[in-house]
Structure 1
Amino acid sequence: MAETNGADTAQQPQAPKMNVLAQFIRDLSFENILSTKGVSGEVTPDVQVQVNLDAKKRPADNQYEVVMKLKVESKAKDSGAHLFVLELEYAGVFHIENVPEEQLHPFLLIECPRMLFPFVRRIVSDVSRDGGFPPLNLETIDFLALYRNELQRRQAAQQSETPPVAQA
């Protein structure tokens, strides 16, 4: 009976495994532009957030590095004057096993950033508060939608670069 159970488990695909080995701030910049310009009165901010993701294989087996690059710009709604600019590159090193090769790219750019995001949110909140502004709580980012949008953008770029086929 024990031999049959062993054969059954060998045929079943193993569940994906992910471990976060490290996470760290690769680069951080905060410019409090408001303090140098001395804007007076009540200011209603308009906050723009740009997110870029990057993933690469590391030399060790099954290890990948995922970097989330965030640029947060806050401007006054009425005048358009910059209040602050925050740039953050936050990286995570992941050990990933049992993910099929065709699913690895989306896994790295969707699931890994989901793991990093709460820490990024906290850093942005703390830095904006320590920079003299109310803490900025980032809304949850839909990494699946971000991934799909990037795929569509790349497909559109490839189609526009393809020269038209000449007809005889």
Structure 2
Amino acid sequence: MADTDETVPAPDAAAAENAATEQPKTPQMQVLGQYIRDMSFENVAAQKGNTMEGQPDINVQVGLDARKRKQDGQFEVATKLNITAKAKGGEEPIFAMELDYCGVFAIQNVPDNQLHPYLLIECPRMLFPFLRRIVSDVTRDGGFPPLNLENIDFVSLYRNEITRRAQAEAAQVTPS
């Protein structure tokens, strides 16, 4: 009695290769580096000799940008924050912070039609914990309680920007 079953043919190399190529490849992201491109923090209250009482009104504006680098499959993604704090009911700022935080990513196996949202949703999501830490440290070191940013919904941010661009294009096409 033989130990092998002769009725099942042995797979050939070409069939195994075809089976491997038919499976969708998993998108891969590697963070190659991250850095602060630009940052400023102004303690306006201290400069003017004012003191802060109570909880301030904090306004956080987020901007995203991505660009292809010279190296194949590498992209730079920037998250730009503009944060202002004002006393409740006041117009005078207490502090202002601007931060341009970038990451360099190697991206593979992402279809071209999905690359734009991937760069502006998934990449900033990977950088966000580091961005949050910088904001917290700088505000604390600037003489205020640390500002712990709430999670940013990058999907909504992306969708809103696409809608805004579509409306702007429609307004340019249709003369008023």
Q: TM-score, normalised by structure 1?
A: 0.93
Picking from 98, 106, 119, the partner of 2:130 is: 119
Q: What is the alpha-carbon distance in structure 2 between the residues aligned to residue 37 and residue 78 of structure 1?
A: 18
How many corresponding residue pairs?
164
Note if 1:6 corresponds to 2:17.
Answer: yes
User: For residue 76 of structure 2, what is the aligned residue in structure 1?
Assistant: 65
Quick one: distance in 2 between partners of 1:41 and 1:163?
49
Match of 2:173 in 1: 162
Q: How does 1:29-68 map to 2 (within 5 A)?
A: 29-40=40-51, 42-68=53-79
More divergent stretch after superposition (6-15 vs 21-30): 6-15
Deviation at 1:124, TM superposition (A): 0.1
Q: 2:153 aligns with which of 122, 142, 150?
A: 142
In 2: Cα distance, 1:41 partner to 1:94 partner: 41
Find the counterpart in structure 2 of residue 19 from structure 1: 30
List gaps (5 residues or longer) in structure 1: none
Identical pairs, percent: 57
CA contact (8 A) 1:67 1:89 kept: yes
CA distance in structure 2 between the partners assigned to 1:104 and 1:41 by the alignment? 45
Q: What is the aligned-residue RMSD (CA, Å)?
A: 1.2
Which one has the largest radius of gyration?
Answer: 2
Distance 2:145 2:117 in 1: 35
Superposition misfits of 4+ residues, deviation over 3 angstroms? none
Structure 2: gaps spanning 5 or more residues:
1-10
Distance (whole Å) between structure 2 residues aligned to residue 32 and residue 102 of structure 1: 44
